[in-house]
Structure 1
Amino acid sequence: MTTPDRVALWLPFCLVGGICGWSWYWYVRSIIFYYKNGFDFSEDFGPQFSQFPDDDRFTAKPKEKFLIAWPVFVVVGTANLIPITLGLLGILS
């Protein structure tokens, strides 16, 4: 892969890297918060995953966010970032 080709990977690297870092940040903060809270999921923590925060049908419950939503965001973000990083390093051509 030539240098001009790698330049095209910097924008996805920054975008996906930002999303991946944001996901890891909130997932680790959730782990710390719920650990200190005794894994009591009655209190919500972190950003909302809903376009309609007043409607409970579209809002993830705290336990669903911790056990399903954040791990999915972390895995998908990391899985998308790895090939981009390998392409920038020249390992994938």
Structure 2
Amino acid sequence: MCHGFTPLHAPSTTRRVMRCTCGSLHVIWHHLNYALSPSEFRDLHDLLTAPAPHAARTDWALQHTAHATQLWCGPTGVTFTPQEFQSFRDLILTVPPHARQFH
């Protein structure tokens, strides 16, 4: 169980990235909570900077259409509107590189 969080980027109470005392990075997107290791977060970050409209990194996959973007982590997916996806992407890419590593 995770205790003690340090905000890394928190544009709102429903959209934020926090580091747990165990070293996990928690990506909060409304009621969704991805608890990621630093390497999983790096894979997600790399995926979101990939130039291809359909990209994959380890367990992550991204599919774009004209009206939506789907982000998959293994068998679990979430669908974003284009505006929501841009906000999610900005949330992840705004976390400074030094904050992504476990200390």
TM over 0.5: no
Structure ID, larger Rg: 1
Q: Which is richer in helix? A: 1
TM-score by length of 1: 0.38
Which structure dedicates a bigger proportion of its chain to strand? 2
Q: TM-score, normalising length from structure 2?
A: 0.36
